[in-house]
Amino acid sequence: MNSIYSYLAIPLLPLIASFCVGILGKKLSEFFASSFTILSVFGAFILSCFTLNQTLDGLVVNQAVYQWLATGRYQFEVGFLIDNLTAMMMVVVTFISLMVHIYTMGYMKGDPGYRRFFSYISLFTFSMLMLVMSNNFMQLFFGWEAVGLVSYLLIGFWYQKSTAIYANLKAFLVNRVGDFGFILGIAMILYWTGSLDYATVFKNVGIITAHTMQLFGQPVEVITVICVLLFIGAMGKSAQVPLHVWLPDSMEGPTPISALIHAATMVTAGIFMVSRMSPLFELSDTALSFVMIIGAITALFMGLLGIIQNDIKRVIAYSTLSQLGYMTVALGASAYSVAMFHLMTHAFFKALLFLGAGSVIIGMHHDQDIRNMGNLRKYMPVTWITFLIGSLALIGTPLFSGFYSKDSLIEVVKLSHITGSNFAYFSVLVGVFVTAFYSFRLYFLVFHGKEKWRLQTVAHNDDYHHGLNPKDNPHESALSITLPLTLLAIPSVVIGYISIEPILFGSFFAKSIFLNVEAHPAMEHLSHHFHQIYHGPFGMAVHSILSIPFFFATSGVALAYYCYQVNINLPKQIIKNTQTIYSILENKYGFDSFNEKFFAHGSRFLGERFWRLGDEKIIDGWFVNGTARFVGKCSEKIRIIQSGYIYHYAFAMVIGVFLFLTFFIKI
């Protein structure tokens, strides 16, 4: 495992599996297709664990695998940078991917696209690994686009569904906006530092700190522009306001990919990227403030939307948005390690929640409306317990993994002093309450209370309707589904307790993340608190019981209990009395309709104009058809010359010679 080529096996294993299954397709049995991809991802997971083990001993690899292209003074290489940050992401990605692969065997059973699905998710694993293992911006961008492509393919996996097609197109278009910023950022980096290699860029970045450039007539620091542009890329991929609109709709895809791509891994690529770019972001307080404010807005306002959703997957989707906002806030507070820590814990418990939701959906015969559920704990015990664990982790119950990451996050935002940190602190604090409320609203509605599907009057016996008949009982899902749930529940509980000390306060990220301690001392203070006041992770849990976040979380749960268990008519009354607020939330703050009216309608209008005037009249009428007519006429004319008579031909030759002679002989 010392040669760079051995690391190459990690992304290549899923790629090979993906190609085999994708190309051979129907020739393979379903069992072979799934077990082959599962084995390859398992192999990648084991190798990633080895790699993590090595990097824990202090190994850092930064090496090119091969040169792809060299033009002038620029070289484009494929290479790997492997350190603790990469290795952690690799383990998380391959582990969740493995769980999702196993889960898919049960979830997609009988689907006509079974093999295609496995091919896609393996391809995704490859792309994501290329993204995190990259040591240069070009490969980063490749991975970035590749995960976007697979995400597009998977959202529209059920391509017969028009909503799915709409959703994947939307995801693709919105991500283009982000990617446009991202590639501009990369281009600026190439322009100013002359390299795309991380190490070289970070070394040369000192040169550009002093430079300013003219932007809209104002002098702006170059580094700020670069960071903001890169972050715009992250906003697209990690669904930050206002580029978040695609993520809720992406739930049209099958549930396993909602867990893998749209909760645990791909959407966190933006967070990972900013952490990787910490040497750049540390140089610009303006960019950090921008990051923090965007994150804070996302964390709070997207959480609020989760409260009114009735689709089980959409609730979790909005929760994902809000949690991504949390991570972004941490990035803004220069607490990259905290963001990465929350990314990791969130990956486990959010994948767990999504897969649990998938299990519920199967139990309910593909009915996703939580108003038709209830008391499922009686019928689906494993799903119930694991879902409860996931929810407890999400709201930050002490000792659970989510608690350690979220509490540290809130603490570090409190200690931060950059512009916008007060607002961010307020947002994340209120966010705790909101998170607890919507999580347990979901939990109580699904697993407790009355069995509401029995109240439905219309029984549907045909294939076209989804849902459970009033007389049927839901069943616990198969082992291939419950096993990943159980395996994910374990890290959701313990991973925070185990790893908080090395990751946040030890030297785990020392070689990967650059921190300007003098300018941004929040992490230093947090570390001080942890060691001097709490004396370790257990003490942190004990202390938190008297803290504000804990109070908010418990009151959120209590309110949810009161509203959905004790006084179940209360929510309806509240909705009736707050129509304005409710309709704002219902319309998701109007982002979608604004985009639809302004961008979609506007560009269609413009496009129509260009088409009518530019295309039909000028290009088609003039250039294309006009030239074609002209050429056609010429062609007919020249044809006449070709008469078939020898003397015409000979005459043409003689004329040719004659003309050449008169042209060229100068006497």
Residue 628 CB, nearest approach to other proteins (Å): 8
User: Within 10 A of 337 (CB to CB), how many other CB atoms are there?
Assistant: 26
Name which position in 69, 210, 566, 638 contacts other proteins (CB under 8 A). 638
Residue 637 CB, nearest approach to other proteins (Å): 9
Cα 19–22–27 angle (5° rounding)? 115
Name which position in 426, 562, 622, 649 contacts other proteins (CB under 8 A). 649
- Binding string, 571-610, against other proteins, x = CB under 8 A? ----------------------------------------
| Residue 215 binds other proteins, judged by CB under 8 A | no
For every residue of 238-254, DSSP letters joined together read TT-TTS-THHHHGGGS-
| Residue 626 binds other proteins, judged by CB under 8 A | no
| Residue 648 binds other proteins, judged by CB under 8 A | yes
Residue 521 CB, nearest approach to other proteins (Å): 57
Residue 659 CB, nearest approach to other proteins (Å): 8
Nearest 5°: phi and psi at 18?
-60, -45
Segment interacting with other proteins (CB under 8 A) among 1-9, 110-118, 403-411, 625-633: 625-633
Residue 220 region, left (φ>0) first, then alpha (ψ -120 to 50), else beta?
beta
Helix (H) or strand (E) holding 537: helix 537-544
Amino acid at site 504: L
Both structure tokens of 304: 């609020």
Residue 612 CB, nearest approach to other proteins (Å): 25
| Residue 644 binds other proteins, judged by CB under 8 A | yes
Name the residue among 391, 506, 505 with its Cα closest to residue 446.
391
Amino acid at site 239: A
Cα separation, 440 vs 446, in Å, equals: 9
For every residue of 166-224, DSSP letters joined together read HHHHHHHHHHHHHHHHHHHHHHHHHHHHS--BHHHHHHHHHHHTT-EEEETTEEEEHHH
| Residue 664 binds other proteins, judged by CB under 8 A | yes
Q: What size, in residues, is the chain?
A: 667
Residue 645 CB, nearest approach to other proteins (Å): 9
| Residue 656 binds other proteins, judged by CB under 8 A | yes
Note the Cα 109 to chain centre separation in Å.
26
Segment interacting with other proteins (CB under 8 A) among 11-19, 94-102, 504-512, 632-640: 632-640
Give the nearer residue to other proteins in terms of CB position, either 458 or 667: 667
Segment interacting with other proteins (CB under 8 A) among 60-68, 189-197, 541-549, 629-637: 629-637
| Residue 665 binds other proteins, judged by CB under 8 A | yes
| Residue 69 binds other proteins, judged by CB under 8 A | no
Both structure tokens of 614: 């530019």
Give the nearer residue to other proteins in terms of CB position, either 599 or 660: 660
Residue 68 CB, nearest approach to other proteins (Å): 16
Both structure tokens of 438: 């919507």
| Residue 650 binds other proteins, judged by CB under 8 A | yes
Does the N-terminal peptide bond of residue 242 adopt cis geometry, omega within 30 degrees of 0? yes
Strand boundaries in 357-442, DSSP class E: none
Residue 69 CB, nearest approach to other proteins (Å): 15
Give the nearer residue to other proteins in terms of CB position, either 501 or 615: 615
Binding interface with other proteins (CB under 8 A): 627-628, 631-632, 634-636, 638-639, 642, 644, 646, 648-650, 652-653, 655-657, 660-661, 664-667
